[in-house]
Amino acid sequence: MTTANDVLDALQSAFPGAIQEFRVESDNRLWATVDPNKIVEICKFLRDEEDFDHYSGAAGVDKIDEDLFEVTEILASHGAHPVVALLKVKTPRDTPSVKSLTGLFWNADWYEREIWEMFGINFEDHPGLYPLLLVDDLVGSWPWRKDFKGYPDYNTNERVLEKINPDGYAEYKISPTEAEIEAGTVPETRPEYPTFREREIMELETESEMILHMGPQHAIVPGPFMLDLRVDGERVKKAYLDVGYIHKGIEKILENRTYIQGIPITDRMCYLASLSNNEVFCGAAERIMGIEVPERAQYIRVILEELSRIQSHLLGTGEFLSLLGGATFSPFQWMILDREEIISCIESVTGARINHSFVRQGGVRNDLPDGFAEMTRSALKTVVDKTNEYKELLLSDNIYRKRMEGIGILSPEEARRFGLSGPPLRASDTPYDMRREDPILVYPDLDFNVISRKEGDSKARVEVRLDEIIESCHIVEQCLDQIPGGPIREKVSKKIKPAPGEAYYRVEDPRGEMGIFLVSDGSDKPVKVKVRGPVYAYMQALPPLLEGAYVADVVAIAGSMDACTSEVDR
Amino acid sequence: MGISDVVPIPVVIDEELEKWTVWGRPLTNIWLTTTEKIHEIIDMGPIKNILNWGRKNSLWFLMQPMGCCGVEMLVFGCPHYDCDRFGIIPRATPRQADVLIISGYITRKYLPAIKNLWGQMLEPKWVIAIGECAISGGPFYDSYNIINNTSDFFPIDVYVPGCPPRPEQFIKGFRELQEKIKRREDERGY
Amino acid sequence: MVLSTIVESITDFVVQEPKISGLIIGLIAAAIIASVINVGAMGVVWLERKVLGDMTNRFGPCRVGTRWGILQLVADAIKLFTKEDSIPRGADRPIYVWAPIVACITTMLVAAALPWGALNIGGVVYPLVAVNMDISAFFVEAALSLMAIGAFMAGWASNNKYSMLGAFRGMARMVSYEVPMGVCVISVAIMAHSLNIVEIVEAQSIWYIIAQPLGFVIFMIALVTDLGRIPFDQSEAEEEIIAGYVTEYGGIRWGLLYFQEYIIMLLGSVLLVHLFLGGWNGPVIPVISILSPMIWFLMKMILVLVFLIWVRGSLVRFRIDQVTDLGWKWLLPLSMVNLVWAVAVGVYFA
């Protein structure tokens, strides 16, 4: 098995002198600062020679003390080896510019656009550097830079100017903050680019084509995003996706909260996976602090995360079925009913239905209540029985199969190229699961299968989720049998101050690979938190997947992805 | 304006007719009526109570999930909580909805869209702000992209606190809105 | 004494002025039918919400008007009547306004020719039908398809992309299912030697569901398609094209279109009962023998309605190309087979 040292040796022999600094954190984490001019060649080498075919994302860090921007490219492999390479590129703060990786990795597009709009770092050779999450007003003020004056912002609504346009629709302009005006940092020249609407209208070809807007408010969207389809009759010619309608700036907010205060914010990144989000945020801090979580706490985390996976999959599948059969489709409502049982199990521990804020750095908040095991076992039994029933039902439903089979097929190569993870990737014959690849907590001690399917269509994606529910039930039952006694939280001082350092920690969210890239400078607040969410990758892969489908299939494909807009926008 | 302006009759008759009243209003006002006048008349009589009874028992809300509360909104319509008991059902198009549920953070980018949704809804209509984010920005109160105070933009009738509120609290919010409609104390005066 | 005088004078009037009296009788019948179908549709909506609720572990309406929620639909109707009336900018105003009215006319046309049960007076069964036409089966089937015209007008006039897609889908669906449905009606007529629904019912000593089961299945599928209900509700697929052809409709205009759908559902189930389930035929119930046919008729109708609701609660929606595919490639040939079968069996028994 390749380890981080092997990769480092290969790199150093292939590119002598290009690796300016390096740090081998463990067998599967390699940190390296590389020559900005050679980043593309190095990534190409890693991709082609060392099997780093999974581009996990990129993070920008504003090092205002050193007058530098740092862009970290996160590379991993789809199952060939467990090494994650984090390659840092430094660029001066006054003329920031980095080479784009879009030529190598298809899915680098969105990550680089995000860094551009937030930091103003230019990406050379990027095909379309348009804003992704931000409203056009804010582009040019680079909100994630440390010297951005518009944060904290308590009076947005007082500065809103309403204007009714000739069509009778309201438009809003928001004047700059007082701090910005005082500091004189109101951007005078904003970058010029065609807006989202203009871009899609430019591509209209014939008279018979039209743009069909699905969103921001539409029955298929689980949260506001705009899916625009260029259709000819019922046939989709091309799809365009505009996200950022609920961009809250969570990463910026986390930089200004202490580590404990940050936990409730991470809940809200994806409200169906809040326990995994807690876990990934706390786990990253634990990596830097170098503390080991007590075993009982690890078991509690695993139990709750798996329960949370069950409820998320039940809701995701149920919501998807409601897209196919209407809100009155009975299995959808039964699934919500089953979910309530799981929710009440989780609630008995955390006290909340969806936003738990339960995991702490060094352990968990409180112990399991009395009678939890019995309650959970009986709930799991119901869920397993019912899930088997749903599987049988969907398998025997001819209309359902007619609608779902062969729709939105993703070949394994394509799925990897799109940077997918979680159920959509596993449905495409790639058993890639963080619980196996990057083992954390007590997962190595547990016995479970990684579910995968060969077909790669919408039906397979739903089947993977249903099978995972059963597998998760199995894991929880094992944990309930094995859970030892003992403390539930390591002794950690009330004011958490990790030593200066960086960590990249990833877990298997219900939707796939959830990673947090955390930079600490020794203070009680993180310098930078970058969230690498799974749904971000799904959404990016959606437009190419929808090309050539029918309008009705858009629902079947987009729904089977089980997207969570909140996590895309953050 | 008198009837003689519309129908060719002697002005004398017109003057006579203007003396006649119904519920303290000139009869001509009722004959040559406009929508506002009909509303004025309805407002006075007991018929308004019947209308408000119908309205309060048939509050259809717009399916418009925005955040964490959107998930609870979905559960609110499903077994266990079952909003259909109260005659509350979700609708997908704003034209057929009566209640706009602001179920999360309104961002700069989404503000025009949600304002247009509100404009497309037909009167009588109400807004319920659900969750801390919709009330005051919630945990994201200091974000650069969030509109903190939703009530500056929408005439909000009921605030349901919680982050997110439980589905039971959704029901309570709707019950309070029903009470307000019944007592004619809602923001827009229906 | 006074009564007989009144009856006498009415009889005289009818004899002397047949045209005027015919008009008055027609208006009265129309009023009765309009109220019956509208109240009936409200009942259907209520039934659907209750039955669907029961299927999904819910209660359905249970707060407004006793614990059965019987006043729920009254509240909905009051609200819809007092909603703001709006016509979107850019809409084709006359067509937009006329679409719900056309839909209403359609339902009235169908309802006029359908027998609404029967009464057993002294051993003779009198069907309750407003217009007893000779070709009523054919007329009803033709008038049912007019509903698609109303829907198409609504979708076209709304100036909305979703509406237009919904309208096109509705039209494509109607075209592909009207033919098999018509062929099924013809098969029934051949077997009964009549196109008159009353005579078809009377001819069913064996219910036609037993005499031609294939025809029943095809007619049932085509009927669900005509009603535009899941799995054939492509024209208003809420999750794909918002509300389809009624996306821009609100208030009572939408209320009318919405109620027409349920009225059509009611009428469709009545037609199904008459054509295949023996209408009001059934053993005479003692004591209330006068109401006996009516009770059988209502029981069968409610059974069909519950079946339609059951289908809605348990199936997913087809895609539009699959719908037309099923219509042209499967139902049409099969309905021809059924026609041949009906002719053969009809000749044999005749």
Condensed to tens digits (0 to 9), the pLDDT of residues A512-567 reads 888 899 888 888 888 888 888 888 888 888 888 888 888 888 888 888 888 888 88
Distance from CA of A109 to the nearest CA of B (A): 21
Cα angle vertex A228, ends A222, A230, to 5°?
Answer: 145
Q: Are strands B156-160 and B126-130 parallel, antiparallel or unpaired?
A: parallel
Tell me how far apart the alpha carbons of residues A67 and A461 are, in angstroms, rounded to a whole number: 46
Residues A524 and A380 in one domain: yes
Tell me: pLDDT of C161 over 70: yes
pLDDT at A146: 85
Tell me how far apart the alpha carbons of residues A403 and A517 are, in angstroms, rounded to a whole number: 40
Could you tell me the two tokens for A259?
């580590």
What confidence tens digit (pLDDT) does each residue in A75-115 have? 888 878 888 888 888 888 888 888 888 888 888 888 988 88
Tell me: pLDDT of C303 over 90: yes
Domain membership flag for residue A151: no
pTM for the predicted model, two decimal places:
0.88
Query: Average of pLDDT values for B112-123?
Result: 87
Whether chain B has a CB inside 8 Å of the CB on C250: the answer is yes
Assign C344 a pLDDT band (cuts: 50, 70, 90): confident
pLDDT at A198: 80
Whether chain A has a CB inside 8 Å of the CB on C237: the answer is yes
Q: What proportions of chain C, in percent to the nearest 5, are helix, strand and coil? A: 70, 0, 25
Whether chain A has a CB inside 8 Å of the CB on B3: the answer is no
Tell me how far apart the alpha carbons of residues C332 and C338 are, in angstroms, rounded to a whole number: 10
Domain ranges, residue A453: 250-569
Inter-chain touch C83–B124, beta carbons under 8 Å: yes
Tell me: pLDDT of C279 over 80: yes
Number of domains in chain A: 2
Whether chain A has a CB inside 8 Å of the CB on B72: the answer is yes
Domain membership flag for residue A434: yes
Residues from chain B that touch A264, judged by Cβ atoms under 8 A, are 139
Inter-chain touch A271–B78, beta carbons under 8 Å: no
Assign A129 a pLDDT band (cuts: 50, 70, 90): confident
Pick from A103, A136, A169: which residue ends a domain? A136
The residues, ordered by sequence, that sit 6+ positions from B77 with a Cβ below 8 Å of its Cβ are: A327, B83, B84, B89, B90
pLDDT at B25: 65
What confidence tens digit (pLDDT) does each residue in C243-266 have? 888 888 888 888 888 888 888 889
Q: Exposure pattern of A2-40 as b/e (b: 16+ CB <10 Å)?
A: bbbeebbeebeeeeeebbeebebbeebbbbbbbebebbb
List all residues of chain C from 163 to 192 with a beta carbon under 8 Å from chain A: 165, 168-169
pLDDT at B27: 65
B52 close to C79: Cβ distance less than 8 angstroms = no
Residues from chain B that touch C83, judged by Cβ atoms under 8 A, are 98, 122-124
A327-332 long-range contacts, Cβ below 8 Å, gap at least 24? A327/B77, A327/B90, A327/C238, A328/C52, A328/C56, A328/C230, A328/C312, A328/C313, A329/C230, A329/C313, A329/C314, A329/C315, A329/C316, A330/C55, A330/C56, A330/C313, A330/C314, A331/A390, A331/A393, A331/A394, A332/B78
Tell me: pLDDT of A37 over 60: yes
Query: Average of pLDDT values for C90-105?
Result: 86
Closest chain C residue by Cα to residue A397: C315
Inter-chain touch C61–B58, beta carbons under 8 Å: no
Numbered ranges of CATH 3.40.50.12280 in chain B: 59-182
- Residue, of B4 and A381, whose pLDDT is higher: A381
Tell me: pLDDT of C309 over 70: yes
Inter-chain touch C86–B87, beta carbons under 8 Å: no
Question: CATH number, domain at A389?
Answer: 1.10.645.10
Tell me how far apart the alpha carbons of residues A321 and A315 are, in angstroms, rounded to a whole number: 10
pLDDT at B7: 60
Distance from CA of B139 to the nearest CA of A (A): 7
Tell me how far apart the alpha carbons of residues C301 and C299 are, in angstroms, rounded to a whole number: 5
List all residues of chain B from 69 to 88 with a beta carbon under 8 Å from chain C: 78-79, 82, 84-87
Domain membership flag for residue A292: yes
Amino acid at C112: A
Question: Tell me, what DSSP letter sits at residue A550?
Answer: B
Whether chain A has a CB inside 8 Å of the CB on C315: the answer is yes
Domain membership flag for residue A338: yes
pLDDT at B34: 56
Tell me: pLDDT of A393 over 60: yes
Question: Tell me, what DSSP letter sits at residue C71?
Answer: T
Q: Is A470 left (phi over 0), alpha (psi -120 to 50) or beta?
A: alpha
List all residues of chain C from 130 to 159 with a beta carbon under 8 Å from chain B: none
What confidence tens digit (pLDDT) does each residue in C195-221 have? 888 888 888 888 888 888 898 999 999
pLDDT at C349: 66
Percent of chain C with pLDDT over 90: 10
What's the burial of B74, exposed, middle or buried (CB within 10 Å: 0-12/13-18/19+)?
Answer: buried
List all residues of chain A from 119 to 178 with a beta carbon under 8 Å from chain C: 168
**Could you give the 3-state DSSP secondary structure of residue A531?**
strand
Whether chain A has a CB inside 8 Å of the CB on B119: the answer is yes
Inter-chain touch B74–A319, beta carbons under 8 Å: yes
Tell me: pLDDT of B6 over 60: no
A174 close to A160: Cβ distance less than 8 angstroms = yes
Q: Which of B153, C345, C298 is closest to A174 using CA atoms?
A: B153
Query: Average of pLDDT values for A194-207?
Result: 79
**Could you give the 3-state DSSP secondary structure of residue C14?**
helix
pLDDT at C307: 92
Q: Which of A351, A337, A228, A360 is closest to A282 using CA atoms?
A: A360
Query: Average of pLDDT values for A277-303?
Result: 88
Percent of chain A with pLDDT over 90: 3
Residues A131 and A260 in one domain: no
Lowest mean pLDDT among B58-62, B152-156, C123-127: C123-127
Inter-chain touch A329–C231, beta carbons under 8 Å: no
Inter-chain touch B122–C250, beta carbons under 8 Å: yes
pLDDT at B33: 53
Residues from chain A that touch B113, judged by Cβ atoms under 8 A, are 216-217, 224, 245
Question: CATH number, domain at A113?
Answer: 3.30.460.80
Pick from A136, A157, A192: which residue ends a domain? A136
Rg of chain A (C-alpha set)? 24
Lowest mean pLDDT among A424-438, B38-52, B107-121, C114-128: B38-52
Distance from CA of B73 to the nearest CA of A (A): 11
Residues from chain C that touch A219, judged by Cβ atoms under 8 A, are 238-240, 242
List all residues of chain B from 11 to 70 with a beta carbon under 8 Å from chain A: 62-68, 70
Tell me how far apart the alpha carbons of residues B179 and B184 are, in angstroms, rounded to a whole number: 8
pLDDT at B2: 55
Residues from chain B that touch C53, judged by Cβ atoms under 8 A, are 82, 84
pLDDT at B9: 67
Whether chain A has a CB inside 8 Å of the CB on C313: the answer is yes
Inter-chain touch B116–A170, beta carbons under 8 Å: yes
What confidence tens digit (pLDDT) does each residue in B31-80 have? 555 566 666 767 776 778 888 888 888 889 988 888 888 888 888 888 88
Closest chain C residue by Cα to residue B123: C84
The residues, ordered by sequence, that sit 6+ positions from A528 with a Cβ below 8 Å of its Cβ are: A59, A60, A61, A62, A251, A255, A517, A518, A519
Task: Pick C49's closest partner by Cβ from B51, B84, B123.
Answer: B84
C231 preceded by a cis bond (ω within 30 of 0): yes
- Residue, of B43 and A416, whose pLDDT is higher: A416
Domain membership flag for residue A179: no
Pick from A136, A158, A178: which residue ends a domain? A136
What confidence tens digit (pLDDT) does each residue in A327-359 have? 888 888 898 889 999 999 999 998 888 888 888
Distance from CA of A136 to the nearest CA of B (A): 8
- Residue, of A168 and C335, whose pLDDT is higher: C335
Residues A279 and A415 in one domain: yes
Q: Exposure pattern of A129-145 as b/e (b: 16+ CB <10 Å)?
A: bbbbbbbebbbbbbbbb
Distance from CA of C153 to the nearest CA of A (A): 18
**Could you give the 3-state DSSP secondary structure of residue A340?**
helix
Task: Pick B110's closest partner by Cβ from A156, A224, A339.
Answer: A224
- Residue, of C61 and A25, whose pLDDT is higher: C61
Best residue in A117, A162, A248 to probe B by mutation, most B CBs within 10 Å? A248
Tell me how far apart the alpha carbons of residues C137 and C196 are, in angstroms, rounded to a whole number: 6
**Could you give the 3-state DSSP secondary structure of residue C118?**
strand
CATH top-level class of B59-182: alpha beta
Inter-chain touch C53–B82, beta carbons under 8 Å: yes
The residues, ordered by sequence, that sit 6+ positions from A457 with a Cβ below 8 Å of its Cβ are: A404, A405, A406, A407, A408, A409, A410, A427
List all residues of chain B from 150 to 179 with a beta carbon under 8 Å from chain A: 150, 152-153, 163-164, 166
Q: Which of C147, C187, C168, C179 is closest to C328 using CA atoms?
A: C179
What confidence tens digit (pLDDT) does each residue in A500-520 have? 888 888 888 888 888 899 888
What confidence tens digit (pLDDT) does each residue in A443-491 have? 888 888 888 888 888 888 888 999 999 999 989 998 888 888 888 888 8
Look-up of token digits 């989202």: A196
pLDDT at C175: 87
A117 close to A101: Cβ distance less than 8 angstroms = no
Task: Pick C243's closest partner by Cβ from B53, B78, B96.
Answer: B96
Q: What is the mean pLDDT of chain A?
A: 86
